[in-house]
Amino acid sequence: MNILMMTNTYKPLVGGLEKSVESFTKELRERGHRVMIVAPEYPGMRKEQGVIRIPAIQNFNGSDFSVQLPIPGVLTAALENFTPDLVHSHHPFLIGDTALRVASKYNVPLVFTHHTLYEENVHYIPGDEEAWKRFVIELSSGYANLADLVLVPSESVRKMLKDRNVITPTEVVPTGIYTKRFSRGGRKEFRKRIDIPQEAFVVGHLGRLAPEKNLEFLSKAVAQFLKGEIDAYFLVAGKGPSEELIKEIFRQEGLSDRLRFAGVVQGKDLVDTYHAMDVFAFASQSETQGLVLAEAMAAGIPVVAVDAPGVREVVKDTQNGCLLESEDMSDFILALQWMEGRTASQWKKIKSCCRETAEEFSMKNSIEKVAKVYTSLLIVQGFTRRPAEDSPWATTLRLIQTQWELMKNLTKATGALLIPEEIAVKEETLI
């Protein structure tokens, strides 16, 4: 099977979506499938076989993201020797639109993975944030209805899409993790390297350091917890625009000496970073799965997190961590204190539960689900949504129809953007 993966973000960016594309591609190739990835160019990227890079504008609106340039013919030429049997889109806009056009041109099904709560990223766009949220929700939901199948990382997201009137069939397929990889790590060595005492209680966080991860709240809560625990430290791994904010919060609280940054960690360093922690702290409301939570648990590290889609499927309150009903500073601090106060026997039980939870998100389980989904579309269902004609004229008609659908979706989303907030609220109450 020839599978075309199309994404707006990919390596060298490090995040859950990028890991998902990379790991599923690796597993599918090992099962004998041909997989081609289409992604934007990035500074510092390495030339990689099986990856088509599209020219792009870098650091869109101060973010780490690239925005593709509409240069005609770039993708067409690159796909001359790769005719896809299926197109898998990982974003509902930009390259996502191109993915829909490619699927239409080659008369093949389009699978869309709804990775992110896109409306939580609108702070990168200047203007009325609430209006942009309405626009993004409408745009992504409309795109989902243009796909032939939507994959979601959690049951919470499936329910959310149903509430947003997405009628395309959906399947829950979490991004899988290699649980054995995280089972052993160099806790002592890593702590020594970044100057954390071996006996210290370490609260950790790993991921892209960006506003949508709610790091201001998280850092303030952890700082207040550290004030009451003289032997506690905060270990942060990753990079992004919120790094200076975290440092400033700890400077203001006089706790800079107990803040440690590990930077971007990969390979063995990634595993060692988790093992250097005692508890993983997480407050993001923008996740659909929270891949780092499953990774932490595979390392036996419990999680303190605020309830959110994708989080509640992983964190089981008082079993493998603490799940807070809402974003409350006092409750978050109390949860960290509760974790710190566990006895040796209680810690052993918690760590065992963490590893059991991680197995539910193993790559073996996830890749089997993906393969089943692809097979169902191409063989079991005998994909028949689009006409079977293969003439140039039929291809042109399909492309025209696809462009029309994209324009209708954009127009509808723009209407949601322009509608006054008080009217939008009133309409929501009527749904």
How does residue 425 score in pLDDT terms, banded at 50, 70 and 90? Answer: very low
Backbone angles phi, psi at 324, to 5 degrees: -90, 140
| CA–CA gap between residue 272 and residue 186 (Å, rounded) | 5
Topology classification of domain 179-359:
Rossmann fold (3.40.50)
How does residue 306 score in pLDDT terms, banded at 50, 70 and 90? Answer: very high
Closest CA relative to residue 133, chosen from 117, 144, 147, 145 = 117
Average pLDDT, rounded, for the chain? 87
What is the model's pLDDT at position 285? 86
* Interval 76-125: pLDDT, tens: 777 878 889 999 999 998 889 989 989 988 889 999 999 887 776 666 66
Closest CA relative to residue 180, chosen from 298, 353, 22 = 298
Listed in order, the ranges of the chain carrying CATH 3.40.50.2000 are: 2-176+363-430, 179-359
More confident residue, 410 or 234: 234
Topology classification of domain 2-176+363-430:
Rossmann fold (3.40.50)
* Range of weakest confidence among 140-144, 341-345, 423-427: 423-427
Q: Is the pLDDT of residue 70 over 70?
A: no
More confident residue, 296 or 12: 296
3-state secondary structure 314-339: CCCECCCEEEECCCCHHHHHHHHHHH
Q: For the chain, state the CA radius of gyration.
A: 22
Count of CB atoms situated within 10 Å of the CB of 315: 26
What is the model's pLDDT at position 45? 82
| CA–CA gap between residue 134 and residue 130 (Å, rounded) | 6
What is the model's pLDDT at position 289? 81
What is the model's pLDDT at position 57? 64
How does residue 71 score in pLDDT terms, banded at 50, 70 and 90? Answer: low
What is the model's pLDDT at position 424? 47
Give every CB contact of residue 120 below 8 A, 6+ residues apart in sequence. 212, 285, 286
Q: Is the pLDDT of residue 368 over 90?
A: yes
Q: Is the pLDDT of residue 291 over 50?
A: yes
How does residue 392 score in pLDDT terms, banded at 50, 70 and 90? Answer: low
Residues 383-391 have a mean pLDDT of 50
Q: Is the pLDDT of residue 381 over 90?
A: no
Q: Judge whether 311 and 282 are in contact, CB under 8 Å.
A: yes
Contacts 24+ apart (CB under 8 A), 101-105: 101/399, 101/402, 101/403, 101/406, 102/4, 102/6, 102/75, 104/386, 104/398, 104/399, 104/401, 104/402, 105/395, 105/398, 105/399
Closest CA relative to residue 17, chosen from 39, 44, 33 = 39
Q: Is the pLDDT of residue 388 over 50?
A: no
% helix, strand, coil for the chain, step of 5? 50, 15, 35
Residues 289-294 have a mean pLDDT of 88
3-state secondary structure 8-47: CCCCCCCCHHHHHHHHHHHHHHHCCCEEEEEEECCCCCCC
* Interval 171-196: pLDDT, tens: 999 989 999 999 999 999 999 999 99
CA atoms within 13 A on the CB side of 31: 16
Q: Is the pLDDT of residue 429 over 50?
A: no
Q: Is the pLDDT of residue 335 over 50?
A: yes
What is the model's pLDDT at position 390? 54
How does residue 203 score in pLDDT terms, banded at 50, 70 and 90? Answer: very high
For residue 87, what are its two tokens?
A: 């197109």
